[in-house]
């Protein structure tokens, strides 16, 4: 049982939105996860992992133009908890980059 919990924690941490958004290449992030495309155009660098998750929830499917399904929503809500912690840890860095570089553009 402990191995199962540890495996879930490791998988959750590796998929954290904060990791994806803290240092994007060229100030852009491509948001096209599971066939969904976000309606967001940009997100702030401060608490960017949480903002990324909200943008995922505010997305439309390319195929049937409906919102996120149940399985993807479970991932986003799980990642949301990890992103809160990780975003708080990197807060000094993200404040500095927000002031110096501005928002992250989403494609």
CA–CA separation, 88 and 40 (whole Å): 22
For tokens 């404040």, what's the residue? 95
71 confidence band (pLDDT: 50, 70, 90): low
**In the prediction, which pLDDT does 66 show?**
52
Calculate mean pLDDT across residues 71-91: 82
Report percent pLDDT > 90 for the chain.
19
Give the confidence band of 46 by pLDDT, cuts at 50, 70, 90: very high
Token pair of 73 as six digits: 């929503």
Give the residue extent of every domain in the chain.
2-106
pLDDT (0 to 100) of residue 72: 63
Our CA dihedral for 19, 24, 27, 30, rounded to 10 degrees, sits at -90
The edge-to-edge listing of strands for the beta sheet with 36-38 is 32-33, 36-38, 59-61
């Amino acid at each position: 049982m402990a191995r199962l919990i540890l495996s879930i924690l490791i998988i959750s941490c590796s998929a954290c939105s904060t990791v994806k958004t803290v240092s994007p290449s060229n100030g852009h992030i491509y948001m096209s996860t599971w066939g969904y495309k976000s309606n967001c155009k940009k997100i702030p660098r401060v608490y960017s992992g949480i903002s990324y998750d909200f943008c995922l929830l505010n997305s439309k499917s390319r195929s049937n133009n409906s919102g996120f399904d149940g399985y993807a929503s479970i991932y986003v809500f799980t990642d949301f908890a990890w992103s809160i912690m990780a975003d708080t840890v990197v807060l000094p860095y993200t404040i500095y980059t927000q002031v110096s570089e501005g928002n992250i553009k989403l494609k």
